[in-house]
Amino acid sequence: MVREENKTDVKVHKKGKKALVVIAVIVLVAVALVFSYKAHMHYDIEPHEFYDIETIAKEGRSYDSFSTVYMTGDISPDGLRAAYEALGVDLQGKVAVKLSTGEAGNPNHLAPELIKDLVQSVDGTIVECNTAYSGSKRAETAMHMQVAKDHGFTDIADVDIMDAGGYMVIPVEDGKHLSENWVGQDLEKYDSMLVLTHFKGHPMGGYGGALKNISIGVASREGKVRIHSGGLLTKPTITFGALITNQDVFTESMAEAAKSVFDYEGRGERIVFVSVMNHMSVDCDCVAEPAAVDMHDIGILASLDPVALDQACIDQVFLAQDSASLQERILSRNGLHILTHAEEIGFGNRAYELVSLD
């Protein structure tokens, strides 16, 4: 009887040891995964530097080439038209006007009354693509069109949700993460593009400028997920992709997607960029309940180079005395990295000459 009890004790003891070993292995694997995940998701914050050529020269820095950015402090239909006309480009054929229609409940999107004259002067069609994040009322075409109507855009021009019928594939040249970009299939209907951007902060990218407008903004729902995940995923929503994708991979993929659209438009011959710096929250127009606007309006900037344009807008933010929250948002998401990568892949210049229209 004693021997049988001893045997039972031994078995229980062995089972206990095995259980402890299994638990220890699980813990070690979990710890390794946590450290691996942290290492994978780590990114270094790039500091802000001014890239106008006057400051670059004063600081003794160098640049290979620069682009021209025009600026006016007149945020009005006349100011918008002046910024566009300064570019000296007559957009031909059927013109797509790319902007954000804004999430339902967001008041900060471009005002239809501000852009109406310019949009109608080029006989433009306002174009958008459906969103790929959970909770959006613009994730499906019918609701997206309703939001566009509610926000007044259908009153000033035709509106085309370009991926309503699916996507088309355009190539990405010199991409590190993307070899192709899935854009709204109706893009092929248009001969040229006017990119009207409301510059602001962004909860994921740090800021939303011209580059985001033609990357995430022109991508189909599936294309948005591919950009957010560095080419790994294709199915909405973007939430899971954001959890597994390094921030720099995301912003680099945005730069690559933006370049593909720029290249598609005749390597920039059929596309122009105008950005409005007003009603700037740290959150983008895609947020239903954005953080309050806590800085003053700045003006309208325009360029044929979206990289230089975004850099100039960012520099204006860092010149503003009341922009601490937006500066923090840009830097905390390493938002400047999209500009670094754009230059690395031969897309645009960060260096620019700022020409006042006032």
Domain final residue, candidates 10, 25, 42: 42
Query: Mean pLDDT over residues 84-89, rounded?
Result: 98
Q: Tell me: the pLDDT tens digits for 10-67?
A: 555 666 677 777 788 888 777 877 777 787 778 899 999 999 999 999 999 999 999 9
Q: Tell me: the pLDDT tens digits for 55-82?
A: 999 999 999 999 999 999 999 999 999 9
The pLDDT-based confidence of 2 (bands split at 50, 70, 90) is very low
Q: Tell me: the pLDDT tens digits for 117-149?
A: 999 999 999 999 999 987 899 999 999 999 999
Kindly report the three-state secondary structure assignment for every residue of 173-226. CCCCCCCEEEEEHHHHHCCEEEEEEECEEECCCEEECHHHHHCCCCECHHHHHH
Query: Which parts of the chain fold into alpha helices (H)?
Result: 2-41, 53-58, 77-86, 112-121, 141-150, 210-214, 221-228, 239-244, 247-264, 306-319, 324-332, 337-344
Task: Note whether 283 and 318 are same-domain residues.
Answer: yes
Task: Note whether 143 and 22 are same-domain residues.
Answer: no
Domain that holds residue 305: 49-356
Task: Note whether 12 and 54 are same-domain residues.
Answer: no
Task: Note whether 347 and 262 are same-domain residues.
Answer: yes
Task: Note whether 130 and 7 are same-domain residues.
Answer: no
Task: Note whether 3 and 133 are same-domain residues.
Answer: no
Does pLDDT of 296 surpass 90?
Answer: yes
Look at the chain and report how many structural domains it folds into: 2
Domain of 91, CATH number, reads 3.40.50.11440
Task: Note whether 82 and 154 are same-domain residues.
Answer: yes
Under DSSP, is residue 72 helix (H, G, I), strand (E, B) or coil?
Answer: strand
Task: Note whether 21 and 61 are same-domain residues.
Answer: no
Percent residues over pLDDT 90 in the chain: 83
Task: Note whether 192 and 176 are same-domain residues.
Answer: yes
Task: Note whether 244 and 229 are same-domain residues.
Answer: yes
Task: Note whether 36 and 134 are same-domain residues.
Answer: no
Query: Mean pLDDT over residues 142-163, rounded?
Result: 98
Q: Tell me: the pLDDT tens digits for 234-291?
A: 887 887 777 888 999 999 999 999 999 999 999 999 999 999 999 999 999 999 999 9
The pLDDT-based confidence of 211 (bands split at 50, 70, 90) is very high
Does pLDDT of 8 surpass 60?
Answer: no
Task: Note whether 163 and 192 are same-domain residues.
Answer: yes
